[in-house]
């Protein structure tokens, strides 16, 4: 069985490729920039940009299963090419944001909804993994924490469960391997719900540095980020954080059910990635 992994430079994709390769699966690493990949010995790479349909046939030839990142711009062409190539199963890296009642109007959730809808309407057997916010989102704080010891937070009381990317990759291995798990939609959360302020504290403990945060208004945060985050995306993030303010995340048992172990805690992720927050 040949498994094509898209998003191979991404954290989930990279981990998934290693796990599949270690377990003896034939895996092909697809990326928009295959020259940038660092792969285990023996794993072939292929150029695949989900924004460039001419790259689809070469990447999908001879493939049985696909681990797919959600990109809606050319999803119909992707599905047609996958069908023509004889693909038997697509595992989509979706998002728990699709469960929001207004997901179709949410700039962050919309892409995932569109890809889920297109796959559901197709003849391709598909499985949806719907993780919540990745623990690695905190890497956006690494530069200010490294350089100033503090980070601006418009909603320090916003909750997140910070799922470890290895838990998502292990869940993907499970659904790729076990036909009995195919066809489901699995909402995956981390081990516990924390506020952003508590996450800063956990990063401080993991690094041994006295990290703090500045509570700023949404307008100040947006102005500070203007050179790094497009305005519409910043608005989407602010609306999302506002909706999470003071509201603990509803945790699921999805990781446990698929991987056979509880979700890793954010403290585990922080310990593994402490170096990224230290000068
Ligand atoms: N972050 C979250 O909290 C979250 C939550 C739920 C769902 N998701 C979904 O999960 C997917 C990936 O999440 P992510 O963006 O947070 O992280 P990621 O796993 O690091 O993925 C980054 C992706 O961007 C591409 N890329 C472009 N330039 C890159 C570069 N210089 N280095 C590494 N990758 C580069 C890569 O694709 P190629 O290698 O194929 O070019 C890679 O797949 C997205 O579809 C996202 O919507 C994210």
- What confidence tens digit (pLDDT) does each residue in 148-171 have? 999 999 999 999 999 999 999 999
pLDDT reported for residue 118: 98
Using the atom order of ligand 1, give the atom closest to the CA of residue 48: 40
pLDDT reported for residue 232: 87
CATH ID of 135-161+191-249+264-277, from 3.90.25.10, 3.20.20.480, 3.40.50.880, 2.40.30.10: 3.90.25.10
Ligand 1 centroid, distance to 8 Cα (angstroms): 9
pLDDT digit string, tens, across residues 27-46: 999 999 999 999 999 999 99
Using the atom order of ligand 1, give the atom closest to the CA of residue 163: 3
CATH 3.90.25.10 domain range(s) in the chain? 135-161+191-249+264-277
Separation between Cα atoms, residue 45 and residue 56, nearest integer Å = 13
Phi, psi (deg, nearest 5) at residue 214: -105, 125
Name the residue among 234, 246, 235 with its Cα closest to residue 196.
Answer: 246
Using the atom order of ligand 1, give the atom closest to the CA of residue 33: 41
Q: Whose CA is nearest to atom 1 of ligand 1?
A: 134
Ligand 1 centroid, distance to 12 Cα (angstroms): 8
Does the domain at residues 2-131 carry the CATH identifier 3.40.50.720? yes
Residues near 259 by beta carbon (within 8 Å), at least 6 away in sequence? 167, 170, 171, 174
CATH 3.40.50.720 domain range(s) in the chain? 2-131
The two beta strands, 159-160 and 194-195, are antiparallel
Ligand 1 centroid, distance to 172 Cα (angstroms): 15
Run of H or E residues at 116? helix 110-120
pLDDT digit string, tens, across residues 45-57: 999 999 999 999 9
- Both tokens assigned to 192: 């516990």
Where residue 127 falls among pLDDT bands split at 50, 70, 90?
very high
Query: Per-residue pLDDT for 107 more than 90?
Result: no
Q: Whose CA is nearest to atom 5 of ligand 1?
A: 133
pLDDT reported for residue 175: 98
Ligand 1 centroid, distance to 192 Cα (angstroms): 23
Ligand 1 centroid, distance to 93 Cα (angstroms): 10
Ligand 1 centroid, distance to 197 Cα (angstroms): 25
Q: Whose CA is nearest to atom 31 of ligand 1?
A: 9
pLDDT reported for residue 265: 95
Ligand 1 centroid, distance to 7 Cα (angstroms): 7
pLDDT reported for residue 233: 86
Where residue 236 falls among pLDDT bands split at 50, 70, 90?
confident
Q: Whose CA is nearest to atom 43 of ligand 1?
A: 7
Q: Whose CA is nearest to atom 15 of ligand 1?
A: 10
Enumerate residues lining ligand 1, CB below 6 A: 6-13, 31-33, 69-70, 93, 95, 131, 133-134, 137
Alpha-carbon distances, residue 110 vs 15, 72, 205, 230 (angstroms): 26, 9, 36, 17
Separation between Cα atoms, residue 173 and residue 175, nearest integer Å = 6
């Amino acid at each position: 069985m040949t498994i094509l992994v898209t998003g191979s430079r991404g954290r989930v994709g990279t981990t998934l490729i290693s796990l599949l390769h270690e377990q003896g699966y034939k895996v092909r690493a697809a990326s928009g920039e295959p020259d940038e990949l660092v792969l285990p010995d023996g794993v072939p790479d292929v150029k695949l940009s989900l924004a460039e349909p001419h790259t689809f046939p070469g990447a999908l030839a001879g493939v049985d299963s696909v681990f797919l990142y959600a990109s809606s711009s050319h999803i119909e062409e992707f599905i047609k090419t996958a069908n023509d190539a004889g693909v038997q199963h697509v595992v989509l890296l979706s998002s728990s944001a699709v469960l929001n009642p207004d997901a179709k109007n949410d700039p962050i959730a919309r892409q995932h909804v569109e890809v889920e809808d297109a796959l559901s309407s197709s003849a391709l057997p598909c499985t949806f993994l719907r993780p919540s916010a990745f623990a690695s989102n905190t890497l956006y704080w690494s530069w200010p924490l490294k350089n100033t010891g503090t980070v601006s937070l418009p909603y320090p009381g916003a909750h997140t469960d910070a799922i470890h990317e290895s838990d998502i990759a292990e869940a993907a291995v499970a659904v790729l391997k076990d036909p009995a798990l195919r066809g489901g939609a699995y909402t995956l959360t981390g081990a516990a719900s924390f506020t952003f302020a508590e996450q800063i504290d956990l990063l401080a403990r993991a690094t041994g540095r006295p990290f703090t945060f500045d509570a700023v208004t949404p307008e100040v945060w947006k102005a500070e980020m203007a050179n790094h985050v497009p305005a519409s995306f910043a608005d989407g993030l602010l609306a999302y954080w506002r909706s999470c303010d003071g509201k603990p995340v509803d945790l699921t048992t999805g990781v446990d059910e698929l991987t056979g172990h509880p979700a890793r805690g954010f403290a585990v992720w922080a310990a593994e990635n402490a170096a990224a927050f230290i000068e």
